[in-house]
Amino acid sequence: MESNGGDAFRILEEIETLKAAKSDIEHRIANLQVQIGGVAVEEMTDSILCPPISTNDAGFGHGLSPEMVYRYSRQLLLPSFGVKGQSNLLKSSILVVGAGGLGSPALLYLAACGVGRLGIVDHDDVELNNMHRQIIHTEAYIGQSKVKSAAAACRAINSTIDIVEHREALRTSNALEIVRKYDIVIDATDNLPSRYMISDCCVVLGKPLVSGAALGLEGQLTVYNHIGSPCYRCLFPTPPPTSACQRCSDSGVLGVVPGVIGCLQALEAIKIASAIGEPLSGRMLLFDALSARIRIVKIRGRSLHCEVCGENAAFTEQMFQDFDYEKFTQSPLTPLPLKLKLLPENVRISAKEYKERVVKGEAHVLVDVRPEHHFKIVSLPKSLNIPLSSLEGKLPEISSALKEEEKCNGPTSSPGASLYVICRRGNDSQRAVQLLHKMGFTSAQDIIGGLESWARDVDPNFPIY
Q: Mind listing the pLDDT tens digit for each residue in 105-124?
A: 999 999 999 999 999 999 99
Q: Provide the pLDDT for residue 27.
A: 57
* pLDDT surpasses 80 at 175: yes
**Catalytic residue flag (residue 113):** no
pLDDT band at 409 (very low <50, low <70, confident <90, very high): confident
- Residue-wise pLDDT for 188-231, tens only, equals 999 999 999 999 999 999 999 999 999 999 999 999 999 999 99
Q: Provide the pLDDT for residue 247.
A: 76
Write down the domain spans for the chain: 37-56+70-329, 345-458
59 or 41: which carries more pLDDT confidence?
59
Look up residue 461 and give its DSSP letter.
T
Q: Are 86 and 64 in contact (CB under 8 A)?
A: yes
Query: Among 3.40.50.720, 3.10.20.30, 1.20.58.390, 3.40.630.30, what is the CATH number of 37-56+70-329?
Result: 3.40.50.720
d(CA 317, CA 315): 7
Q: Are 213 and 192 in contact (CB under 8 A)?
A: no
Q: Has 129 been labeled as part of a binding site? A: yes
Q: Has 122 been labeled as part of a binding site? A: yes
Q: Has 200 been labeled as part of a binding site? A: no
Q: Are 99 and 120 in contact (CB under 8 A)?
A: yes
Q: Provide the pLDDT for residue 25.
A: 72
> Mean pLDDT score of the chain, rounded to an integer?
89
d(CA 326, CA 334): 10
Q: Has 288 been labeled as part of a binding site? A: no
* pLDDT surpasses 60 at 58: no
Q: SS3 of 418, please? A: strand
3 or 157: which carries more pLDDT confidence?
157
**Environment class of 29 (CB within 10 Å of its CB; exposed 0-12, middle 13-18, buried 19+):** middle
* pLDDT surpasses 60 at 36: no
Mean pLDDT of 241-251: 75
Query: Among 3.40.250.10, 3.10.20.310, 3.30.70.600, 3.40.50.10490, what is the CATH number of 345-458?
Result: 3.40.250.10
| Cβ-Cβ contacts under 8 Å for 431 (sequence gap 6 or more) | 340, 342, 388
d(CA 363, CA 402): 9
The backbone torsions φ and ψ at residue 42, rounded to the nearest 5 degrees and listed phi first, read: -65, -45
**Amino acid at site 455:** A
Q: Has 191 been labeled as part of a binding site? A: yes
**3-state percent breakdown (helix, strand, coil) of the chain, nearest 5:** 45, 15, 40
* pLDDT surpasses 70 at 39: no
* pLDDT surpasses 50 at 43: no
Q: Provide the pLDDT for residue 435.
A: 97
C-alpha closest to that of 221 among 279, 177, 180? 279
Evaluated on CA atoms 245, 211, 129, 132, the torsion sign reads: positive
Q: Has 31 been labeled as part of a binding site? A: no
Q: Has 10 been labeled as part of a binding site? A: no
pLDDT band at 332 (very low <50, low <70, confident <90, very high): confident
Q: SS3 of 386, please? A: coil
Q: Has 158 been labeled as part of a binding site? A: no
Evaluated on CA atoms 421, 424, 430, 435, the torsion sign reads: negative
C-alpha closest to that of 213 among 202, 199, 227? 199
Q: Has 263 been labeled as part of a binding site? A: no
Q: Catalogue the E-assigned strands of 132-280.
A: 162-166, 184-187, 209-215, 218-224
d(CA 68, CA 55): 9
d(CA 79, CA 82): 6
Q: Are 317 and 204 in contact (CB under 8 A)?
A: yes
Q: SS3 of 276, please? A: coil
Mean pLDDT of 317-338: 90
Q: Provide the pLDDT for residue 333.
A: 85
Q: Give percent of the chain with pLDDT exceeding 70.
A: 87
Q: Has 44 been labeled as part of a binding site? A: no
Q: Provide the pLDDT for residue 142.
A: 97
**Catalytic residue flag (residue 154):** no
Mean pLDDT of 170-191: 97
Q: Provide the pLDDT for residue 308.
A: 97
Q: Has 101 been labeled as part of a binding site? A: yes
Q: Are 169 and 334 in contact (CB under 8 A)?
A: yes
The side-by-side arrangement of strands in the sheet containing 445-447 is 348-349, 445-447, 418-422, 364-368, 384-385
Catalytic residue among 50, 113, 248, 408: 248
- Measured at the alpha carbon of residue 183, what is the angle toward residues 225 and 219, in degrees to the nearest 5? 55
pLDDT band at 262 (very low <50, low <70, confident <90, very high): very high
Look up residue 390 and give its DSSP letter.
G
Q: Provide the pLDDT for residue 411.
A: 59
Catalytic residue among 113, 154, 245, 423: 423
pLDDT band at 10 (very low <50, low <70, confident <90, very high): confident
* pLDDT surpasses 90 at 365: yes
Mean pLDDT of 81-106: 97
